[in-house]
Chain A
Amino acid sequence: MQASEIAARARGRMAPTDINNPKYFHKVVDCQWACPTHTPVPEYIRLIAQGRYAAAYMLNWESNVFPGILGRVCDRPCEPACRRGRIQTSTEVNAKDPSKLNAEPVAICRLKRVAADNKGDIGAFMPDIPATKNGKRIALLGGGPASLTVVRDLMPLGYTCVLYEKDPKGGGLMRTNIPSFRLPEAVLDEEVERITDFGVETRFGKAGMVTSLKAIVDEGYDAVFVGTGAPKGKDLEIPGRKEADKNIHIGIDFLTSVAFGHIKTIGKRVVVIGGGNTAMDCCRTALRMGAEAVTVTVRSPRKVMKASDWEIGDAVYEGIPILENHAPKAFVIKGGKLAGVTFEKMTLTGTDAKGRPQLAPSGELVTVDCDDVLMAIGQDNAFPWIERDIGLEFNEWNMPKVDRTTMMSTRPGVFFGGDAAWGPENIIWAVAHGHQAAISIDSFLHGRPLTDRPAPGATLISQKMGIHEWSYSNDYDAAGRVKVPHADLKSSIRNLRMEVELGYDDKLAAKEVERCLNCDVQTVFTANLCIECDACMDICPVDCINFIDNDDEKGLRKSLRVPAVNASQDLYISSDLKTGRIMAKDEDVCLHCGLCAERCPTGAWDMQKYFYVEPQAAKACLTHHNAYIR
C-alpha cells in the first residue's frame, strides 16, 4: 500500500448506504422528493405513456388533489429538480437570465395536464363518503386549496366539514388571483366541486365572511382550520400615492375584481410595478383588457426577479417590456390625475455574501407615462379577525405561532395551513399543509399525540422481465423538450377567457413521456455477488460507477472518475468487496438506463422500482397508491 493510500484510509471511511431507509431512494427520485406532496411522478408518466390516463389522474388526485389545475399553474418545483435538466440543455435562452440557456427537464407539469384532459369519467374511483357521520364538526376558514385538501382528506373518515369562503365560489386564490387565460373556469370548477360535492356544508359569500375567530370557536366546532391565505397586497407610500389613488390598483385585488367581473376596463397605458408571478398575471391581464402599452418595472436586476422564468417568458413572448433596476420614486400627477411614474435607476454595486445583487441609486430619473398602475410588490397575511385573548399566540411579526410539523397553533384544536400559516407560498405547498393538518386533526380528535406522524409506505421490486428486458422503457431518448402548442398570439392577447396554452395532444405527450429517465427504477447493488469485473463501470454512459478505496465523503467525492460536485446528491456506497475496495456510485446524473444491470454477469446489479407513499389521514384517498404496496 502506498503512503498516500494509508493516509487516505486513516482519514476515515464512508459507511455503506442503508437502502432500507426509505429516505435514501426517495431522494434519488428528484422530482418526487422536490414535490411538497411527493406525487409519484415517474409512475404517472409511465401510466400516461401506456394511455392509462384515468389511473395517472388518480395517482395525482390522491396526492395533490388538483391535477387539472396544477397541470396548468403549478409552481412545479419538480421541474428544476428533474435529473434530465442536469444532462440536457436547450438551445433557447432563459427569459430571466439571458446569459444562460434553458435547462431541459421533462415537462412534468404539462404531462399532468394530459392526464387531466384525457381522464374520462373517474366518478367510480372517488372515495365513499360515510352516510353516518362520526359526530365531529370541523370548521374550515377560507375556500382555497389548503382547506379543500383538509376537507378531501377528512370527509371519507366521516367528519362533518363546514367550509367558509367570503367569495361566492370556492377555490380561493386559484379563482381570484389566477387569470382564466391560464386556468379556465371550467377546470377550476370541476376540481373544486368534486370536493364540495362530498357533502360539505358550504357557507359562501356573505355567510362565509368570518370577522371573529372567537365566534367560530364558540359555535362549538371540534376543530378549526384556518386557510385564509395571504390576502393583503402590499402598498407603496411614495409621493402622489393619494392623489393618484383612483388609478392605482393593488395587484391581487385587481385580479380578483377582474375574475368576478367587477372591473372590465383599463387605461391605454399601464405600468406594473413588481417582479413576481402576480406582476406577470397583472401585465398579461391588462393586455387582454385592451391596454395598448403595458410595461413591467422591477427594482432589481431581471435575473433575480421572483417570478418563475417561464412566466416571465410568457409575458415577454406577448411583447411586454420589462424594465429592470427601476426603483419607483413618485407618481406623476397632471390635472389631478395619474400621468406617469417616476423611477430612479439603480446601479449594480456588487453582490453580498449570498450572491444577491447589491444596488445603489444612480441619481438618474426616468418617467414612464401611464394611465393606470398595477402594484404587485408582495402580499402579507392579515388577521384582524383573530382575537388576541383566545389563547392563540402571535410572534414578533404578528403572525400566529404554528407548529411546522403538526400545523397546530398554540390554541389546541385550531390549525393553520397554506399561505395563512407562514406567508405566501403556492398551491402545491397549500395542499401539502392540508394533508398534514388533516392527519393532525384526526389524531387530535382521537386523542393520539400529534407528534406521532404516520410512517410512509415504500416498496422496492425488481423490474427484470428477461435477460435484457425490463418492465420500463430503459432506452434513452435524446429528444429535446416538446413544446406546448399555444393559441394564436394575436387573438389570445385580446381575450381574457381564451386559454393560451393548448396542452399536449396524445401524440405530443407520447413523445415527451419518453424523455423521463424513470429515476424511481433504482440501481440496487448487492456487494457479495460482485466479482469486480468492471463491466458496469465500463458501460455506464455517465461514468457514475466507481470501484475505489474507501475514504471519507470529501475524499471520495474528489477521487471519483468524474468528481461528485453536486453535494445535494448522495453517494451510494457498498460494503467492502473482495479486493477491499468499495463500489461508490454518484447518483447525480444516473440515467437509470439499466445497462449496469444488463452487463453484470452475476446479478450484483438489479433495477428495482421504488414506490413511495406519503401518508395521509384517510386510506380511502390512497387506494391507487396503496395498490403498489405489497
Chain B
Amino acid sequence: MSYISKPIAHHPALPKNALGLTHREYEGSMSTLCAGCGHDSITAAIIEACFEMDLPAHRIAKISGIGCSSKTPTYFLGRSHGFNSVHGRMPSVTTGANMANRDLVYIGISGDGDTASIGLGQFCHAVRRKLNMTYIVMNNGCYGLTKGQFSATNDKSSPSKKGEANPFEAIDLCQMAIQLGAGFVARSFSGDKRQLIPLIKAAISYKGFAFLDVISPCVTFNNHAQATKSFEYVRAHNQAIGRLDYVEPKEEITVDYASGESKAVTMHDGSHLILHKLDKGHDPRDSNAAIQTIRENAAKGEVATGLLYINEAQQDLHDVLATDDRPLNVLPMSELCPGSKALEGINARLR
C-alpha cells in the first residue's frame, strides 16, 4: 500500500472522449492491493473500457461481494454508484438494483471464492434469470485475503506456493455459465489488455447476462513456478480462440469480415462486435461447440480465451417479466402506489 495517492497531474496531451473526459476521470482511489496484483490490471481495463465507450460515470452502478476482487470497485469509477455487499451476495443486490432502475449499467465484480464457493447459488440464479449485467470474476485460484488457500477454481494440477497438492477438481465458471443459459461468456487474462478491453466493452454493451472470467494472478500466493494461474503459465498456455474488435454504434465497420474468417455481430445498442477467428473449428454462437473448445483445451493444459459464446438474440430479465420500460424512480406516485381501491381489487381477485 502506497502512502501517497496518485498525483492528480496528468499528461497534458491525454486524449479526451466524447464527454470531454480523460481516462483519469474514470479512476477511483488508490489501490490497497499487493503491488503487481492482476486485479489492478483488470481495474485499469474497466477504466479504459468505460472511457472509450464515453459512458457517463453517474449512469453506472458497480456492485461487489467480499474479497480482494470485491475491493476493486473502490479503485475505479469514483463517480459511479457503488455497493460493496455481503460475501457471495453481489448477484442479489444487483438483481434488486436492476429491477428498480433498469437504465443503469451494472458492473458486478466478484472473485473465485465469492462466486464459485460462498456465492455459487447466487451466481447460478443470476445467470438463469438473464439479469442484464456485466459479471466479472477476477479469478486467481486462491484466497489471497486469508493467505492463499486453494479456491474452487484452482486447477487440480496446481499446487500451493509451499508445494501442497490440491486434492479437488476445479469448477470451470465459463462452462457453468454457458450451461445455465448465459448469453455472453468470455474468458480473458489480466495480463492481456488488448484482448480484455474489447471484451469488457462488448460485455457492457450486451443486453442480458454477460459473464467474464478473467484469470488474474495472485502475485503474493499463486504466482509460483507450478501455479497454473501465474503470469508465466497463462502467457505460455493462452489459446486465444478469436480476436474481438468492438465497434461503437457511431463508428463505421471498416474491417472486411466477409472473408469467412471474420464475423460481425450487431449488438442491441447498435454497436458491432467483429470476431476474427483464430481457431477455425470454433463457432461462438454454438454453445455445445463452446463447451467442447473449453474442455479440449483444458485437457491439454491450455486455457481457451476470448469470446467463447454469444447469443445476441437473448431476452433479459425485464423482457421475460414484461416489466415497465421506465425505472421506478421516474414512475409517478399514482402508478407506483395506485391506492387502496386498486389494492382492494387485487385482493378481491385472490379471494
Interface, chain A (partner B; CB < 8 A):
86-88, 468-469, 474-476, 478, 531-535, 537-539, 541-544, 562-563, 565, 578-579, 589, 591, 593, 595, 598-602
Contacts and interface: CB of A to CB of B under 8 A. Distances in A.
A532 B230 CA distance: 12
B351 interface: no
A591 B35 contact: no
B14 A591 contact: no
A542 B4 CA distance: 15
B43 A600 contact: no
B49 to A, nearest CB: 14
B7 interface: yes
27 contacts: A86-B12, A87-B11, A88-B9, A469-B3, A476-B4, A476-B7, A476-B8, A531-B36, A531-B219, A531-B232, A532-B191, A532-B231, A533-B190, A534-B44, A534-B190, A534-B191, A535-B37, A535-B41, A538-B41, A539-B31, A544-B11, A562-B15, A563-B13, A595-B6, A599-B40, A601-B35, A602-B36
A593 B4 contact: yes
B232 A578 contact: yes
A125 B10 CA distance: 42
A557 to B, nearest CB: 12
Q: Chain A CB within 10 Å — which of B10, B36, B44 has the most?
A: B36
A537 B190 CA distance: 13
B38 A533 contact: yes
Contacts of A476: 4, 7-9
B235 interface: yes
B34 interface: yes
B36 A533 contact: yes
A595 B4 contact: yes
Contacts of A602: 36
A356 B166 CA distance: 74
B146 interface: no
A544 B9 CA distance: 13
Contacts of A468: 1-3
Q: Top 8 closest A-B pairs, CB basis? A: A601-B36, A476-B7, A538-B44, A475-B4, A533-B36, A541-B7, A601-B219, A542-B11
A533 B217 contact: yes
In this complex, the interface size class of chain B, counting residues with CB under 8 Å from chain A, is 20 to 34
Contact of A542 (B10, B36, B232): B10
A541 B12 CA distance: 11
B193 interface: yes
Contacts of A591: 7, 9
B9 A599 contact: no
Given A476-B9, A532-B231, A538-B41, 14 more contacts: A87-B9, A531-B223, A535-B37, A538-B43, A539-B40, A541-B6, A541-B9, A541-B10, A542-B9, A562-B14, A563-B13, A598-B2, A601-B35, A601-B36
A395 to B, nearest CB: 43
B36 A543 contact: no
A403 to B, nearest CB: 41
Contact of B35 (A478, A565, A600): A600
A562 B11 contact: yes
B151 to A, nearest CB: 20
Most A CB within 10 A of own CB, among B8, B9, B12, B43: B9
A578 B233 CA distance: 12
Interface string B205-228: 000000000000101000100000
Contacts of A563: 13
Tell me which of A531, A563, A598 has the highest count of chain B C-beta atoms within 10 A of its own C-beta.
Answer: A531
B190 to A, nearest CB: 8
A261 B174 CA distance: 91
Contacts of B15: 562
A538 to B, nearest CB: 4
Interface of B: 1-4, 6-15, 24, 31, 34-38, 40-41, 43-44, 190-191, 193, 217, 219, 223, 231-232, 235
A579 B236 CA distance: 9
Contact of B14 (A88, A533, A543, A600): A543
A538 B46 CA distance: 11
B235 to A, nearest CB: 6
A598 B35 contact: yes
A88 B6 CA distance: 16
A568 to B, nearest CB: 15
Nearest to B44: A538
Contacts of B13: 562-563, 565
A533 B235 contact: no
Contacts of B1: 468
B184 to A, nearest CB: 25
A517 to B, nearest CB: 9
Given A538-B40, A543-B14, A598-B2, A531 B8 contact: no
A600 B36 contact: yes
Contacts of A535: 35-37, 40-41
Nearest to A88: B9
B2 A534 contact: no
B219 A589 contact: no
A630 B229 CA distance: 44
Contacts of B40: 534-535, 538-539, 599
Nearest to B37: A535
A537 B192 CA distance: 13
Contacts of A532: 191, 231, 235
Contact of B2 (A533, A543, A562, A595): A595
Contact of B4 (A474, A534, A537, A579): A474
B47 to A, nearest CB: 9
A563 B1 CA distance: 30
A544 to B, nearest CB: 7
A86 B9 CA distance: 11
Nearest to A87: B9
B36 A478 contact: no
A198 to B, nearest CB: 46
B231 A589 contact: no
> Which of B6, B10, B11, B191 has the largest count of A CB atoms less than 10 A from its CB?
B11
A592 B171 CA distance: 44
Contacts of A542: 7, 9-11
B12 A533 contact: no
B146 to A, nearest CB: 19
A554 to B, nearest CB: 17
A543 B11 contact: yes
Contacts of B190: 533-534
A478 B8 contact: yes
A602 B36 CA distance: 8
A602 B231 CA distance: 13
A599 B13 CA distance: 24
B231 A599 contact: no
A86 B223 CA distance: 40
B231 A533 contact: yes
Residue from the set B4, B191, B223 with the largest chain A CB neighbour count within 10 Å: B4
Nearest to B5: A475
B111 to A, nearest CB: 18
A589 B44 contact: no
Nearest to A538: B44
A195 B151 CA distance: 75
